[in-house]
Structure 1
Amino acid sequence: MTAPNLPASPAPEPTQVPISALEHYTYCGRQAGLILLEDAFADDAATVRGTILHERVHTPGHETRPGTKTLRALPVWHDDLGLTGVCDVVEIRRKAVTPVEHKSGRYQPGGPADVQVAAQAMCLEAMFGVDIDKAVIWSAADRRRHEVAVDATLRTTVETTTAAVRTMLAEASLPAAPADKRCRRCSMAESCMPKVLAGDRRYRQALADLYRIPTDEPPTPT
């Protein structure tokens, strides 16, 4: 008897990764881990400014002016990459779709925000069926738009960072604390304790001694 040809089981969908996590992970893997794995977050002046700024653009809606349609708070996703998120603003012109990410601080060329807005562009490509070769970051501190080239290098960075975040989620393991100059600008430094965890030799030695079993005599049974 010939076995019936059964349809192949569909491949499992990848764990969804928030687009915003790519920016956090690019800046500091431990920061992303604290947010995603421990639901930890702390505000400072910079994050409060960012929240206020995004309240203005995160009200869903659209507006139309000659030649341009502007969408606000547009949900986006990419099934193959397993990405999901919300674009602050998407500008649609004839044969052109451009994500515009709003930031309260100054723009840093090649910084974490570039990875975030490039991921948005890749999601929009999949959703609208168009090619997007540039994105925009609006800096409130600079009060101007900054174009970001969504090139092959940046696309690869989006893919590798997405994979790294997904691995971190699967392993449920916090990355090591960097304990460098980034920590001075991080609102989560107090909960992260980078100097204690990464820069204190005595702490690390005490932690190792705590779980070391003496080799000269067997452990006393309890």
Structure 2
Amino acid sequence: MKTELLPVPLSALEHYAYCPRQAGLILLEEGYEDDANTVRGTLLHQRVHEPDEETRPGIRTLRALPVWHQQLGLNGVCDVVEILADDTVIPVEHKSGAYHPGGPADVQLVAQAMCLEERFKTTISTGYIYSAADRRRHPVPIDAEARARVIDVATAVRAVLHQTTLPAAAADKRCRGCSMNALCMPRLLADQRRYQRALSERFTPLSESDWDD
């Protein structure tokens, strides 16, 4: 009997690719904190997150399209999907910040493309990340290496979902730009002696005399 894979949200792939602990905080503890960047991203996505369809000569545009990949156990929503007159399918992921080639956003986009291939019974060779920072579309190749990366990250996310403990804190330059810095406490957790001292000070065992009181 085939075991059904634990579903992995497409958004979790980007979170994990950026920082495994960030993904763990969101998936295991349902923790999330907004900052200026995340609020800006939410405002940017207001339009593309409303299900809609627009048809112009030679192109049909779908917004907030639900997608899934049964075999890989992936599911989520595509910001924008363009279908050209020749049936070419193009996913376009919108991001508020600057685009970094090969970064975490690429993983999410490629995963979207793989889901769209299953839904539309097609092959997708290129997708785009739209960066609001420079108002440009950046092409992302949907090649064998990118597909393998999606599978590897999905496997890693699924391992986090099966755990009861969070991944270790990164405590590097990524933390400065992370909205979840306060929840994560990377500097404290990276210094285990400091962490154990803070933990003992916060949770001091009661003595027998304390119980008597």
TM-score, scaled relative to structure 2? 0.90
Match of 2:12 in 1: 21
Question: Are 1:45 and 2:36 an aligned pair?
Answer: yes
Residue 125 (1) aligns with residue 117 (2): yes
Distance 1:181 1:112 in 2: 15
Counterpart Cα distance in 2 of 1:62 and 1:13: 33
Matched-pair identity in %: 63
Distance of 2:65 and 2:111 partners within structure 1: 14
Q: Which runs of 4+ in 1 moved over 2 A?
A: 199-208
Q: Distance in 2 between matches of 1:206 and 1:60?
A: 48
The reply on whether 1:74 has 2:71 as its aligned counterpart is no
Matched, 1:137 2:134: no
For 2:143, the equivalent position in structure 1 comes to: 151
Aligned residues: 199
> Is the 2:82–2:90 contact (alpha carbons within 8 Å) kept by the matching residues of 1?
yes
Q: Distance in 2 between matches of 1:49 and 1:205?
A: 38
Letter in 2 for 1:87: C
Question: Which runs of 5 or more residues in structure 1 are unaligned?
Answer: 1-8, 209-222
Aligned-partner Cα distance in 1 for 2:99–2:191: 30
Q: 1:90 aligns with which of 81, 100, 121?
A: 81
CA contact (8 A) 1:49 1:104 kept: yes
Deviation at 1:199, TM superposition (A): 2.8
Q: Give the C-alpha shift of residue 200 in structure 1.
A: 4.7
In the aligned structure 2, how far is the partner of 1:73 from the partner of 1:205?
47
In structure 2, which of residues 56, 62, 83 is the aligned counterpart of residue 65 of structure 1? 56
Which one has the largest radius of gyration?
1
Contact 1:137–1:148 under 8 Å retained in 2: yes
**One-letter code aligned to 1:146:** H
How far residue 101 of structure 1 moved from its aligned partner, in angstroms, is 0.3
Deviation at 1:62, TM superposition (A): 0.4
Q: Secondary structure at the match of 1:70?
A: strand
Q: What SS does the aligned partner of 2:100 have? A: coil
SS across alignment from 2:101: coil
Give the Cα–Cα distance (whole angstroms) in 1 for the partners of residues 189 and 174 of structure 2: 15
Contact kept in structure 1, 2:17 and 2:104, CA below 8 Å? yes
Kindly state the Cα deviation for residue 206 of structure 1 after the two structures are TM-superposed: 7.9
The alignment's TM-score, normalised by the length of structure 1, stands at 0.86
- 2:97 is aligned, of 90, 93, 105, to 105
SS in 1 for 2:77: strand
- Per-residue deviation at 1:125? 0.4
Which whole-Å CA distance do the structure 1 matches of 2:60 and 2:166 have between them? 42
Does residue 171 (structure 1) correspond to residue 163 (structure 2)? The answer is: yes
Does the aligned pair in 1 maintain the 2:188–2:194 contact within 8 Å? no
Structure 1 counterpart of 2:107: 115
CA positional deviation for 1:12: 2.3
The RMSD of aligned alpha carbons is 1.4
Helix, strand or coil for the counterpart of 1:171?
coil
- Taking the aligned partners of 2:153 and 2:145, their CA distance within structure 1 comes to 12
User: 1:179–1:199: 8 Å Cα contact kept in structure 2?
Assistant: no
